[in-house]
A and B are shown apart, each in its own frame.
Chain A
Amino acid sequence: MKYFIKKLITLIITLLVISFLSFAAFSVIPGDAALSRLGKDATKEQLLALREEMGLTDPLPERYVRWLKGAVQGDFGESYRYEGITVQSLLEEPLFVTVLLSGIALLMILVFSIPLGIASARFSGKWLDVVTNQISQIIMAVPPFFLGMILTYVFGLTLHLFQPGKFISPRESFWKSVEYLIFPAVAIALPKIAMVVKFLRNSVLAQLSQDYVRTAFSKGNTSSGVLYGHVLKNAMIPVVTFLAMVIAEILAGSIVVEQVFSVPGIGRLLISSILNRDYPVVQAIVLYVTAVVVIINFVVDILYQLLDPRVRSV
């Protein structure tokens, strides 16, 4: 319990620091939210009036405190870019889409990389291992956005397995929306699968050379028994840490891939909000993403304890 409270306090402090930093960043960089919304033809009066309305004329600490008060109550205010639309309603669907996309990508990573990684280790040096290794090497070198473009051309424009840009909102049809997200998810997942396979393989191989493996064999275990009963549990500890990092990277990757595939997720919203100086939206997205990353780290810590009881005493 004490451990849990400690982690919770860390979470809150992290969120506070991050939110203040992103708040401050926007007051340093050039550009003006009111001007972005009104454009070239705006008159001086219109600009001043809108700045006043948006509260941009107040000093930074005052604005931050006001924002914080709202945020604590779950109220992120109104978008600067879209008049009369609250940040929550603007974020709702994109957030769901991105979570869905990340979820599919994560599922792909787990389903493919763990069996492949174990198989690679088990048949180390055999053709399966060599081929997997080579392919992983190549895929890792390709950035997700480029992979996305290749997938679009091959599967979208040539083979017509999906229609680029024809995303169907999950509100209209959940499964059609999942169907569209498969290829974007592949673009995010492939490089990560390659990494996890390589990581898991090496981790398993490292464990296999440990003394306890010899002991396990001498006790009469089969090679499968040793692998799944003893080695894997130990080999998974660093892999879980790595997976936590991968989840954060999936979020980052989805920002880029969403652009390529025209997926209306928070990645696209984040980029357009930054370009339009729509601070309230950016703040909310940054906060969500930070929270996700911190919470995942927290979950990983718990997982450690399940995998390795020694951590608990530390």
Chain B
Amino acid sequence: MKKKHLLSGVMALLVSVALCACGGDKNAEGTSAGSQAAQSQDTTAEESSNTLSEGTPVPGGSVVFGMTQDLASLDPHIDTDAGTRDVVFNLYEGLVKPASDGSFMPAVASDYTVSDDAKVYTFTLRDGITFHDGTPVTIEDVKYSIDRYAEIQGESSAFSIVSETVIVDDRTLEVHLNESYTELLPMMTVAIIPASNEDPAGNPIGTGPFRYVSYTPGQNIVLEKYDGYWQEGVPSLDRVEFKFIADVDTAFVELQAGTIDIMKYLTAAQAETLGDSYNIYEGSMNLVHAMYLNSSYEPLSKTGVRQALCYGVDRNAINNFLFGGKSHLIGSHMIPAMSVYYEPEAENVYTYDPEKAKELLAEAGYPDGFDLTITVPSSYSQHVDTAQIIADELSQIGVRVTINQVEWSTWLSDVYQGGDFQATVIGFDGTLAPSDWLLKYKTGHAKNFMHYSNTSYDEVFDKAYAAVNQEEKAEYYKEAQMILAEDAAAVYIEDPVNLVAVSKKFGGYTFYPTAAEDMSLLYQVEQQ
């Protein structure tokens, strides 16, 4: 379930070849060996990571990637969390796969065309591509995979736009849609798996650069290089282990001890205490970090009140305090890395202005403020800390905040599924399809846990969704973001910076604007 916009895989190739040149000689053949330049939107990130010293690649070697969560499922067609998608990115590929610049490159398909009305997508199977067990990928496997995914997703999912898949010949598959839709490519990253495999979760077989070796619940998953991978020259490493560690502090100790080689989501303080045997890469978490508001809760149903909250929260203070000022402040529900659709204007709709906030509250009929409970998942310190800063700031405009910390499971069932909350601080991820980010604000949508409703937003969103012309589509999505900003659908804060520590034994760490930890581009560095 990784997705995105641009239709040109060839462009991705060209761009990455260019990036390859400036990043030094890494993976000679790697199609997207663009290394650190992934966050092309975030110039500061790009510069700082380009200055990192990376030595000469040496083939072979093994890496241990530390993560603080276990995998949800190895079955690629079951919806999972970003952490799991980070890992299985190395195992599975779709007809197309995301490149580090957010475009799509052909993977299991070698080529594709889109009909003018964007209702029929035609994919050509790549010659000679094989599964990890050595068997060739057939067009039946491709059809089976897409159909299986559609069935698991069910009729209420976004994937139901696919009406049928048609095998034209043994190298060609047509995907027919119910209506015109140009955001299909992100969905075509759905993993292609062999139809003959009866246990995809227990015995994962894909076409990715690494193949499955073992999985021990609560401990680790081990992958090894797949020699028959269709891209020449990658992967460089022989073995990859993703190690699951109980908590962030323990993980950090293991990083210092050299037990793990890579750890992401470091705090600014942690990054500073690390010695010089690590490179710190700066990317972004690709999250819309915000205080989400329940529009059905009385004071919050008024636009003026929500705007007052936006004026009353100092995004800079949160960014400085939690991320050393390195995060990208946002003003609507889209991440900057989605450059084609991102509306930078939204960032400037509100400035920190407590006086204005008080005025707005008074106008809305709450001159003395009101009570607000912010429910946050306790296991995520960045959300809890953010809520505390917000509570302190809002007390200055008369809003009396109570913070209610709940377990993640409780948050999922009560807040997200039940819609039973007043405000919550959380970060939303999304796929490379812009609709995936913005859909949750549509009136009555299943994922609209905020009970947000705005007819002009619904209209603009529908236009954007249906638009076939790329520029028109982007314009509508930008307009939709401005509506969310001006209507103060939520108190948007930032796309948090992602500080990744990588042992100097390795080079080529690459950020993606979606959930992917691409270990195929990582390589061992010659030791002095």
Contact = CB atoms under 8 A, between A and B. Distances in A.
A156 B253 contact: yes
Contacts of B254: 164-165, 262
A278 B513 CA distance: 32
A189 B245 CA distance: 24
B50 interface: no
B70 A46 contact: no
B157 interface: yes
- Tier of interface size on chain B: 35 or more
Max chain B C-beta neighbours (<10 A), residue from A40, A79, A90, A275:
A40
Interface stretch (A11-19, A28-36, A292-300): A28-36
Contact of B413 (A31, A45, A84, A272): A31
11 contacts: A30-B409, A30-B413, A31-B413, A44-B154, A46-B152, A157-B253, A164-B257, A165-B245, A264-B218, A264-B219, A275-B407
Interface in B40-76: 70, 72-73, 75
A301 to B, nearest CB: 36
A44 B156 contact: yes
A40 B446 contact: no
A27 to B, nearest CB: 13
Interface string B141-174: 0000000000011111100000000000000000
B9 to A, nearest CB: 26
Nearest to A46: B154
Contacts of B217: 79, 81-82, 85, 90
A107 to B, nearest CB: 26
A32 B413 contact: yes
Nearest to A264: B219
B81 A262 contact: no
A211 interface: no
A120 interface: no
Given A35-B417, A83-B201, A272-B218, A45 B75 contact: no
A152 B253 contact: yes
A271 interface: yes
A262 B218 contact: no
Nearest to B159: A43
Nearest to A89: B217
A31 B250 contact: no
B199 interface: yes
B189 to A, nearest CB: 14
A275 B256 contact: no
Contacts of A271: 246
Contacts of B246: 259, 262, 268, 271-272
Contacts of B154: 43-46
Nearest to A164: B257
B247 interface: yes
Contact of A260 (B152, B250, B259, B407): B250
Nearest to B417: A35
Given A84-B202, A156-B257, A165-B260, A43 B156 contact: yes
A164 B252 CA distance: 10
A62 B245 CA distance: 36
Nearest to B257: A164
Contacts of B414: 30
B81 A39 contact: yes
A259 B253 contact: no
A83 B77 CA distance: 14
B412 interface: yes
* Main secondary structure on B side of the interface with A: loop
B79 A39 contact: yes
Given A30-B414, A43-B154, A153-B253, 13 more contacts: A35-B413, A38-B72, A41-B1, A42-B79, A46-B154, A84-B201, A163-B257, A165-B250, A165-B260, A259-B247, A272-B70, A275-B407, A276-B409
Interface string B15-32: 000000000000000000
A205 to B, nearest CB: 42
Interface in B308-348: none
A269 interface: yes
A122 interface: no
Nearest to A79: B217
A5 B157 CA distance: 59
Contacts of A260: 250
Contact of A84 (B199, B256, B259, B260): B199
A184 to B, nearest CB: 12
Contacts of A277: 409
A166 interface: yes
Contacts of A164: 250, 253-254, 257, 259
A39 B80 contact: yes
Interface in A43-101: 43-46, 79, 81-85, 90, 94
A40 B81 contact: yes
A230 interface: no
Nearest to B260: A165
A40 B73 CA distance: 14
B128 interface: no
Given A46-B154, A275-B407, A39 B253 contact: no
A277 B409 CA distance: 7
A270 B406 CA distance: 19
Contact of B79 (A31, A46, A82, A157): A46
B244 to A, nearest CB: 9
B408 interface: yes
Nearest to B250: A262
A37 interface: yes
Contact of A35 (B73, B199, B406, B409): B409
B250 A259 contact: yes
A152 B416 CA distance: 38
Given A46-B152, A276-B409, A40 B416 contact: yes
B417 to A, nearest CB: 6
A43 B253 contact: no
A84 B215 CA distance: 13
Given A35-B417, A39-B72, A45-B154, A165 B201 contact: no
7 closest residue pairs by CB, A with B: A31-B409, A165-B254, A165-B259, A45-B154, A41-B79, A30-B410, A164-B257
A156 B258 CA distance: 11
B119 interface: no
Nearest to A160: B257
Contacts of A38: 72, 78-79
Interface in B255-309: 256-260
A37 B72 contact: yes
Given A43-B153, A43-B154, A85-B217, A157 B257 contact: yes
